[in-house]
């Protein structure tokens, strides 16, 4: 009976629908990326899916061209059990994709992460779309396993697109980038000068533009998001200071303090001094895509938002 109802609704959609506007469903639509996507959308008809209140078995994807799956458990300030990452990031994503395929959705877009490759590219070549994956924590592993399971569903009538993203920043950002803005804003002298690492980032406007391109073109494959050029930690801090119109003196952190911080808080040390570099040239070439915003523009917009919420 369930299958007959789906078939009936799908056939009705094929007969009645002649719109050129693509109908998409977004899970995790209230999150950072989803909120920006919906607010700045002008080319899709969007159905929001709340997987916190809706069971997968009851989802209605009839008439939907593409599902954009943003719902995920990301790194938490309070530690989560590994099982939670796999339950949400792998199992929920896979079951949602299966339901989408069953109901005739043409394309499933999974938001993933460059952490499927690992934690850093120190002394390594940049990661690209075909690099080996070696995730080092439950978050990266759960995302990688979701990718593999969902890609296995792909066939001629069901396309799967995986978008691997580095750190996303922009208005509304939380966690590390938000704390970095506060840090730069608060102190006139900072020990973050002379850091020569390279970190790939993506401004949320560039990420959403890439997602939109993937959906409009109805493409499949693995894609990497990113701004045009990577930045060092020192460059990021300087751009933040400039956008804050603050005069900040950057000095080098003494080597002994670097060694101590690396030993005591290695994860924080790696975020400040380590490199995480991706090469998304193949993605941009394949899609004929160029990020519409520079890093300077993205950071300025983010800092303007920060200044507004402090008023």
Q: Is residue 73 part of a domain?
A: yes
pLDDT for the residue numbered 11: 43
- Which among 77, 242, 72, 223 has a CA at the least distance from the CA of 151? 223
Cβ contacts of residue 111 below 8 Å, gap of 6+?
33, 68, 69, 70, 72, 163, 165, 211
pLDDT for the residue numbered 308: 94
Range of the domain at 128: 2-169+202-228
Q: Is residue 301 part of a domain?
A: no
Number of domains in the chain: 1
pLDDT for the residue numbered 273: 86
Residue ranges for the chain with pLDDT beneath 50: 1-4, 6-19, 77
pLDDT for the residue numbered 162: 98
pLDDT for the residue numbered 75: 67
Q: Is residue 246 part of a domain?
A: no
Q: Is residue 269 part of a domain?
A: no
Q: Is residue 75 part of a domain?
A: yes
Q: Is residue 23 part of a domain?
A: yes
**Residue 20 maps to which CATH number?**
3.40.50.720
pLDDT for the residue numbered 52: 87
What is the pTM for the complete model shown? 0.89
pLDDT for the residue numbered 290: 95
Calpha distance 5→10 (Å, rounded): 8
Query: What Cα–Cα distance (Å) separates residue 13 from each residue in 44, 97, 146, 193?
Result: 17, 20, 30, 59
Q: Is residue 215 part of a domain?
A: yes
Calpha distance 95→101 (Å, rounded): 10
pLDDT for the residue numbered 13: 43
Question: Is 139 a known active-site residue?
Answer: yes
Which of 36, 85, 139, 169 is catalytic? The answer is 139
pLDDT for the residue numbered 285: 96
Q: Is residue 272 part of a domain?
A: no
pLDDT for the residue numbered 15: 39
């Amino acid at each position: 009976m369930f299958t007959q109802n789906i078939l009936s609704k799908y056939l009705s959609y094929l007969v009645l629908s002649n719109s050129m506007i693509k109908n998409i469903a977004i899970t995790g639509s209230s999150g950072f990326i989803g909120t920006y996507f919906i607010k700045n959308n002008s080319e899709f008809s969007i159905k929001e899916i709340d997987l916190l209140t809706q069971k997968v078995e009851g989802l209605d994807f009839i008439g939907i061209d593409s599902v954009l799956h943003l719902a995920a458990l990301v790194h938490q300030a309070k530690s989560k059990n590994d099982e939670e990452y796999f339950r949400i990031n792998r199992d929920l994503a896979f079951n949602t994709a299966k339901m989408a395929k069953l109901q005739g959705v043409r394309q499933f877009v999974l938001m993933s992460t460059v952490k499927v490759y690992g934690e850093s590219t120190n002394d390594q070549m940049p990661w690209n779309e075909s690099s080996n994956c070696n995730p080092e924590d439950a978050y990266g592993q759960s995302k990688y396993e979701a990718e593999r399971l969902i890609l296995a569903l792909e066939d001629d009538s069901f396309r799967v697109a995986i978008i691997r993203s580095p750190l996303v920043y922009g208005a509304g950002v939380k966690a590390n980038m938000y704390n970095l803005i506060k840090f730069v804003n608060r102190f006139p002298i900072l020990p973050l000068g002379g850091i020569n690492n390279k970190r790939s980032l993506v401004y949320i406007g560039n990420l959403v533009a890439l997602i939109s391109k993937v959906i409009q073109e109805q493409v499949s494959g693995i894609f990497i998001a990113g701004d045009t050029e990577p930045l060092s930690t020192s460059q990021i801090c300087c751009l933040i200071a400039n956008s804050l119109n603050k005069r900040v003196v950057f000095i080098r952190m003494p080597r002994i303090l670097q060694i101590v911080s690396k030993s005591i808080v290695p994860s924080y040390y790696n975020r400040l001094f380590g490199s995480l570099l991706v090469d998304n040239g193949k993605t941009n070439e394949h899609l004929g895509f160029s990020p519409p915003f520079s890093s300077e523009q993205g950071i300025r917009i983010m800092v303007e938002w920060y200044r507004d919420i402090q008023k």
